[in-house]
Structure 1
């Protein structure tokens, strides 16, 4: 298991502990995306797909592949990008071998973890509900983000969770028995209006609202989510939602 590292949020000055994620390399060996100790995290205001991947060399086969950039959602609503060490320079005696390794590994982004994959970091329910480890869906497109959120809602215990066709004006992307959810895959923090609209839709449907965002939440959106008891989650590119308010923590603990 990779060693956890301390992370200091520059926005609210809270201290967190981050456990680096592990994925299966194409050679079959577990590969951990490292985090540079002591480095200042970057406050992520504009989330772009191109900048969300980092090059990491597999210690077993020496291939260089692109893997999700380590990110951490702070409860204050700030999304943090964690710096990783640069791959070591190639040995002068073997540049041809190193180049071959890069050509095989470059662009080989991880597939969704399967039965043979090394387990990714997940949120363990604190007490009330015991459930198996959540198996995330790697996010490469906005559709993947909706799929990952649907899987998470099912993991929480909601049934008959289905994606809404197209992009409805209501902003609701997922509906299930007793739940409505919105998934914001944009590169800007989710807005107060979006949180309020989801809450209003949940009232009309007599359902639990749940919000998922890839870029975090604006300060007023986070505050309104707290006031309305709307569970707010942020997702990184591994497809693992992280709670950012008490309502989200309670939903994880108690389930559907």
Structure 2
């Protein structure tokens, strides 16, 4: 029996799909392949790997679409990365890294299983039902060729669904008046962030002054209390942002149908568990 609404299903799929997608950034194979392609180790691989589908994108364009990174950090890596490795070469490196990572984390038996093939078919059907309007990262990645092997089809489809949701989430943040640093601070304050505050601030390259200034503004606005926790109003704000994001992300799951979408979640949950158990992803601690 299907009890969740389609937007709730969209939210639940994000929880099982996103860790699988994130291997392309945090698995050791990612840094290995990006550096083999000519990029510098670290942030450059993340920015170039995610932005390569946009072509030789400028730092300003990437900062706008990624939303919550310090633009100065991005400018240290782009467009210089494109002189070290073409976008096409970076895309190739990313796919190779994901293939290697999935085979290591899941094992060849799971990679070749009928369950992964079934999940790939369902995820692709959902991803192909997404609309590109107002969703630049989704549209760019949707323009890439589909991989051939089922586990890579599944990863690519998960990536499309993730970027489709992410573009909608950025729109929700803008609509609710949360800028880059405020979005990060309030996300960490929910307790659901993949990283803790110090990790997030360092990874996005915001200074302590940037962070503290925004904390003070959010406290004055009644979003945070004196201890840095969300107030009732702040929790309501984050809840509305997530609800708006879920509604905006619902179309592909509505097209798939609730029963098939639930099956996709069921099939992806063990893959998420394997990724979590691998230790590749950062933890909130």
> Scaled by the length of structure 2, what TM-score is found?
0.22
- Report the structure, 1 or 2, having the larger strand content: 1
Q: Which has the higher contact order (CA 8 A, sep 6+)?
A: 2
- Report the structure, 1 or 2, having the larger helix content: 2
> Scaled by the length of structure 1, what TM-score is found?
0.24
